[in-house]
Amino acid sequence: MIELDKNLISFCETERQKEIFECVARLRSAKLASAELNCNKRWVERTICNIKRRAALKGYSPEHDMTKVCPDPYIVKGVSTLYDKEGKPVSQWVKTTIDEDKLNEYIEGIIEASLSSIKPVKVKQCQIKNGDPDTLTVYPVADLHIGMKAWKNETGNDYDLEIIETILKKVFTKLIERSPNTKSCLLLNLGDLLHTDNLQNETSRNRNTLDVDTRYAKIYGVAMKLYRFMIETAATKHQHVYVINCMGNHDDIGSLAMGVALDNIYSKNKRIHILNSPAPRQYFKFGDNLIGATHGYDCSGKDLALVMASERPEEWGATRFHYWATGHIHSDKVIEAGKCKIESFRTLAAKDAWTNAKGFLSGNDLKSLVFHKKYGEIERYTISADPELYQD
């Protein structure tokens, strides 16, 4: 006679497993269940055994005093239980680790969700027919932290999905209008486009708990919509739009999935070029200009000049002007290291509770930089983005 713990049903992964589990639990016999389900008795026993093993991997095995279940994508690495003299558990330490298979399923699920509704994209025609081929407009967009939740009474400004959508569309549209008519442009996502990177509302690297507006699926959907808005708005002004997508410390997995999705969305578009790469530092050459882009979390700004010369020696030697665009610190900062200029940019995002508590009080704006093939940066435009200015 088999007595099954009814809680084990939550560890079934398929409808067939649930059917077998429920039948065995009701009949209390693998033999009777196999006869009713018209399947091999050994298969029924193996299925029940696999369900119990999966439960134990997640931390559930009451007969062994294991009742603390860990969330996906984790599995239990080890359990240490302290018993008293009577053999009763007093304290327990549960150690977990990442389940690589579950993590890969999670990443694949994000990518699949991004691609599932993709249809051939019809981008609006470029309104400027004779853009200047000798200049390039660069649009650095840093640290939007889409999905962050901030409360004005605590931080000075409200911030959520609706607010960033309103602000970004208005500010970026105005920036496009003010920028010159160059034939090509370079859109730089400098990282932390997304505020959170998993269903637990945490960063993937350090497991920092975050103030989040809503569910991850909705956050990702809004981020993708706004990313496409920037790309396709730029395409109405410039005949060619080049896109570099940098990974941030808040959105390691999300940024990779977004890069793959955008690459698929615009793969057949002859005017939009997604320069998709998982590399932490990416480069773009325009005439005598070598432009680097990175979030700025891993590599110190003062070291980036040497990094550029080391990673791109041929382009470094063939160009006069060397420039880095970075994010991460949410503020304007410029370092000049020999022949290289390293610049970080402000964000459109309001301050969250942690940032406000630290006293990081920089302003909000978006900039466009104009590079000439022979003379380097020749001009720039700034659009103020004070959150209160754009809230209805």
- Is 103 a member of any domain? no
Domain boundary among 9, 40, 57: 57
Q: What is the mean pLDDT of residues 351-357?
A: 78
Whether residue 263 is contained in a domain is answered as: yes
Which has the closest alpha carbon to 190: 250, 139, 234, 143?
A: 143
Rounded to a whole number of angstroms, the CA Rg of the chain reads: 26
202 domain-assigned: yes
Q: Does residue 266 form part of some domain?
A: yes
Residues linked to residue 242 through DSSP beta bridges, in sequence order? 186, 273
Residue 60: band (very low, low, confident or very high) from pLDDT cuts 50, 70, 90:
confident
**Shared domain check, 284 and 147:** yes
E strand or H helix at 243, and its extent?
A: strand 240-245
CATH number at residue 45: 1.10.10
Burial class (CB in 10 A: 0-12, 13-18, 19+), 17: middle
Classify strands 240-245 and 272-274 as parallel, antiparallel or unpaired: parallel
Within-domain flag for 384 = yes
Residues 139 and 53 in one domain: no
Give the residues across from 141 on adjacent strands: 189
Q: Is 46 helix (H, G, I), strand (E, B) or coil?
A: helix
Six-digit token pair at 193?
Answer: 């486009």
Residues 46 and 177 in one domain: no
Q: What is the pTM of this model?
A: 0.69
Final residue of a domain: which of 57, 77, 98?
57
Cα–Cα dist 239/132, whole Å: 10
Are 308 and 209 in the same domain? yes
Distance CA 178, CA 176 (A): 6
Geometric angle at alpha carbon 21, from 19 and 23, rounded to 5°: 70
Burial 94-107 (b: 16+ CB within 10 A, else e): bebeebeeebeebb
103-120 residue pLDDT tens: 666 666 666 655 555 555
Residues 42 and 151 in one domain: no
Q: Looking at the structure, tell me whether residues 260 and 165 fall in a common domain.
A: yes
What is the average per-residue pLDDT within 125-139?
90
Q: Does the structure show a pLDDT above 60 at 339?
A: yes
Torsion of CA 269, 177, 225, 132, to 10 degrees: 20
Cα-flanking dihedrals φ and ψ of residue 172, to 5°? -65, -40
Same domain, residue pair 42 and 133: no
Between CA 353 and CA 198 the distance in angstroms is: 20
Q: For residue 164, which phi and psi values (nearest 5 degrees)?
A: -65, -35
Mean pLDDT, range 181-202, rounded to an integer? 88
284 DSSP 8-state letter: E
Confidence of residue 144 (pLDDT cuts 50, 70, 90): very high
| Judgement on whether residues 50 and 135 belong to the same structural domain of the protein | no
pLDDT score of 345 = 95
Highest mean pLDDT among 20-29, 349-358, 371-380: 371-380
Residues 140 and 243 in one domain: yes
Residues 211 and 301 in one domain: yes
What is the arithmetic mean of pLDDT over 342-356? 87
Please indicate, yes or no, if residue 209 is contained in any of the structural domains.
yes
- Rounded Cα gap, residues 167 and 157, in angstroms: 13
Sheet holding 240-245, edge to edge: 272-274, 240-245, 182-189, 132-141, 365-372, 376-384
Residue 283 in 3-state DSSP? strand
User: What crossing angle do the helices spanning 15-27 and 41-57 adopt, rounded to 10°?
Assistant: 110
List alpha helices for the chain, DSSP H: 15-27, 30-37, 41-57, 100-116, 152-155, 161-178, 216-234, 252-265, 304-311, 313-318, 353-358, 387-390
141 Cβ neighbours under 8 A, 6+ residues apart:
172, 187, 188, 189, 190, 193, 230, 366
Of 257 and 82, the structure prediction assigns the larger pLDDT to 257
Taking residues 370-374, what's their average pLDDT?
97
What's the number of domains the chain is made of?
A: 2
Is 345 within 8 Å of 327 (Cβ atoms)?
A: yes
Check: CB of residue 70 under 8 Å from CB of residue 217.
Answer: no
Provide the domain limits for residue 279. Answer: 126-390
Higher pLDDT, 363 or 360: 363
Tell me whether residue 92 is in a domain. Answer: no
Q: What average pLDDT does the segment 65-82 reach?
A: 78
Distance CA 28, CA 22 (A): 10
pLDDT exceeding 70 applies to what percent of the chain? Answer: 90
375 and 229 share one domain? yes
pLDDT digits (tens, 9 = 90+) for 243-301: 999 998 888 888 898 999 999 999 889 999 999 898 999 999 999 999 999 998 888 78
Residue 89 lies in a domain: no
Same domain, 20 and 148: no
The residue length of the chain stands at 392
- For residue 133, give the CATH number of its domain: 3.60.21.10
| Alpha carbon distance 306, 290 (integer Å) | 13
Distance, CA of 285 to CA of 205 (rounded, Å): 31
